[in-house]
């Protein structure tokens, strides 16, 4: 064994994995009519490539957003099934473009692992599953996977589960476009507009509290408790994808991209604290408006369990997690039913969750769906 491998970096395994990832990326290079890949590599899988965005309206501005999936990797790894991991990283990065009215198109990523393992090991196979899952999402949603980086970082990447088969951290950057005439800022909000909730379970926010809840219920080494596995699997569920439905609703894929299917006045991606901050403080308060959210989705059973195990107050539930919806969209009242049907036809469950009103004594009101369903005011 060479000394570098003894020190924790297996160049051979890294090359095999890089070729595997390069083939996955290449399988997406012609999937989008809006992305042109210019291959200058001359057959070298590490060689240079470039890209252009094409077939888009004049005046588009290129943009990008970066994010990761945090400590959800610990919960996902405990299930042994890493293929759903990619749904989380795509959801976290793409929605940062979609929520402003943009169109996400091309993805790059960095996978940091403690070790790839030997090429015939379970660890190596699970690392490949992470990337195979990314390929599945990309082919389904038509995202170009341009390139990426994998690094074996030894003790710099760890886990509370020191026996984890894969210890990893995953982050990435989504690139896409905005058009100044297609932005969604929330500045057209008016009283009487309807708030639509889009259903989901845990995304990639507040997972530290999920892990703590599992530890309280199943012991410090919850991942080793066979009785915990069903709940661990529920906690690891992949994130719902709304982007392509919302992009279509916003007219990006129509013959006239400046004509939307619906007039969406606001999209809020419900990450941690989003009801109070992204909706209330950022949008409603400066406009002198309030939101009544009196019929959100019920939280999934596993989320209610985690609340009970962790001993969380109901206001904390909506500050830490999304309560059962990964995003909300504000539309005109006359469009609400059509928007819900449009979403359903594209595999997204949606419902009327509330409305925009004149400024009240609160900025956001939530009728909690946790526990005894208290009234929450922000």
Q: What is the pLDDT of residues 83-120, one digit of tens each?
A: 999 999 999 999 999 999 999 999 999 999 999 999 99
Q: For residue 270, which of 206, 345, 188, 227 has the smallest C-alpha distance? A: 206
Residue 7's pLDDT is what? 67
Measured CA to CA, the distance from residue 5 to residue 218 in angstroms comes to 37
| Residues in contact with 75: Cβ distance below 8 Å, sequence separation at least 6, in sequence order | 207, 210, 211, 214, 232, 235, 236
**What is the token pair recorded at 255?**
């013959």
57, 157: one domain: yes
Query: For 81, which DSSP code?
Result: -
Select from 142, 158, 181 the last residue of a domain: 181
- Strands 144-152, 103-113: pairing kind: parallel
274 and 329 part of one domain: yes
Residues 216, 107 share a domain: no
**Residue 123: which CATH number?**
3.30.1330.10
Whether 78 shows a pLDDT value over 90: the answer reads: yes
Torsion of CA 223, 224, 228, 234, to 10 degrees: 30
186 falls within a domain? no
Contacts of 18 (CB under 8 A, 6+ apart): 45, 46, 150
**36 and 102 part of one domain:** yes
Residues 177 and 198 in one domain: no
More reliable by pLDDT, 43 or 122: 122
> CB neighbours (10 Å) of residue 6?
9
Q: Residues near 361 by Cβ (< 8 Å), separated by ≥ 6? A: 377
- Distance (Å, whole) CA 351 – CA 45: 46
Over range 301-328, report the average pLDDT. Answer: 95
Last residue of a domain, one of 154, 181, 208: 181
- If one counts every other C-beta atom within 10 angstroms of the C-beta of residue 84, the result is 18
Indicate if 215 and 285 belong to the same structural domain.
yes
Check residue 362 and give its pLDDT: 96
Q: What pLDDT score was predicted for residue 334?
A: 98
- Give percent above pLDDT 90 in the chain: 91
Helix (H, G, I), strand (E, B) or coil at 222: helix
Query: Using CA atoms, how far apart are residues 252 and 182, in angstroms rounded to an integer?
Result: 9
Q: What DSSP assignment string belongs to 87-140?
A: HHHHHHHHHHHHTTT-EEEEEEEEEEES----TTSHHHHHHHHHHHHHHHHHHH
pLDDT at 370 over 90: yes
Instruction: Report how far Cα 222 is from the mean position of its chain's Cα atoms.
Output: 25
Q: Is residue 339 assigned to a domain?
A: yes
pLDDT tens column, 156-165: 999 999 999 9
Same domain, 40 and 78: yes
Residue 6, pLDDT above cutoff 80: no
CA-CA-CA-CA torsion for 267, 273, 275, 276, nearest 10 degrees? -120
DSSP annotation of 62 reads E
Q: What are phi and psi of 365, to 5 degrees?
A: -110, 130
Question: The domain spanning residue 330 has which CATH number?
Answer: 3.90.650.10
Q: CA torsion, points 241, 245, 250, 255, in degrees to nearest 10?
A: 130
The one-character DSSP state at 240 is P
Query: Which tens digit of pLDDT belongs to each residue from 219-246?
Result: 999 999 999 999 999 999 999 999 999 9
- Report the pLDDT averaged over residues 372-376: 92
Phi-psi region of 179 (alpha: psi -120 to 50; beta: other; left: phi over 0): beta
Give the full edge-to-edge strand order of the sheet including 350-358. 264-269, 325-331, 194-199, 350-358, 289-293, 364-367, 375-377
- For 110, list phi and psi in degrees, rounded to 5: -125, 120
User: Distance of alpha carbon 344 from its chain centroid, rounded?
Assistant: 19
pLDDT at 1 over 70: no
Helix (DSSP H) and strand (DSSP E) numbers for the chain: 12, 13
279 and 341 share one domain: yes
358: domain range?
194-377
Q: Using one digit for the tens of pLDDT, what is the confidence trace for 239-276?
A: 999 999 999 999 999 999 999 999 999 999 998 778 99
Query: Are residues 107 and 66 part of one domain?
Result: yes
Tens of pLDDT, residue by residue over 328-360, are: 999 999 999 999 999 999 999 999 999 999 998
Least confident of 45-54, 256-265, 298-307: 45-54
pLDDT mean across residues, the chain: 95
Work out the pLDDT band at 10, boundaries 50, 70, 90.
confident
């Amino acid at each position: 064994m060479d000394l570098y491998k003894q020190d924790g970096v297996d160049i051979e395994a890294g090359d095999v994995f890089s070729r595997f990832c390069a083939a996955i990326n290449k399988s997406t290079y012609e999937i989008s009519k809006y992305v042109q890949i210019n291959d200058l590599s001359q057959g070298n899988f590490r060689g240079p490539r470039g890209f252009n965005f094409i077939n888009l309206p004049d005046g588009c501005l290129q943009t990008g957003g970066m994010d990761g999936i945090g400590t959800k990797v610990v919960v996902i790894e405990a299930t042994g099934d890493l293929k759903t991991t990619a749904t989380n990283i795509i959801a976290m990065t793409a929605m940062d473009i979609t929520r402003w009215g943009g169109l996400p198109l091309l993805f790059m990523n960095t996978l940091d692992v403690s070790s790839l393992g030997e090429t015939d090991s379970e660890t190596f196979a699970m690392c490949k599953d992470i990337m195979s899952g990314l390929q599945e999402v990309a082919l389904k949603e038509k995202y170009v996977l341009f390139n990426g980086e994998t690094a074996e970082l030894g003790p710099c990447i760890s886990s509370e589960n020191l026996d984890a088969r894969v210890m990893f951290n995953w982050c990435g950057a989504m690139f896409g476009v905005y058009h100044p005439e297609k932005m969604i800022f929330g500045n057209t909000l008016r009283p009487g507009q309807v708030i639509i909730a889009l259903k989901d379970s845990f995304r990639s926010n507040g997972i530290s509290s999920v892990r703590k809840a599992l530890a309280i219920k199943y012991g410090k080494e919850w991942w080793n408790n066979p009785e915990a596995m069903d709940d661990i699997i529920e906690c690891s569920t992949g994130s719902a994808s709304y982007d392509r439905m919302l992009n279509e609703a916003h007219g990006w894929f129509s013959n006239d991209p400046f004509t939307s299917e619906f007039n969406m006045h606001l999209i809020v991606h419900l990450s941690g604290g989003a009801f109070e901050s992204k909706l209330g403080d950022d949008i409603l308060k400066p406009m002198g408006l309030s939101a009544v959210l009196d019929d959100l989705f019920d939280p999934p059973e596993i989320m209610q369990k985690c609340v009970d195990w962790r001993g969380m107050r109901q206001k904390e539930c909506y500050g830490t997690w999304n309560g059962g919806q990964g995003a909300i969209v504000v539309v005109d009242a006359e469009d609400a039913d059509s928007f819900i049907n449009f979403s359903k036809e594209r595999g997204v469950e949606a419902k009327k969750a509330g409305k925009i009103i004149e400024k009240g004594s609160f900025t956001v009101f939530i009728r909690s769906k946790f526990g005894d369903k208290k009234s929450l005011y922000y």
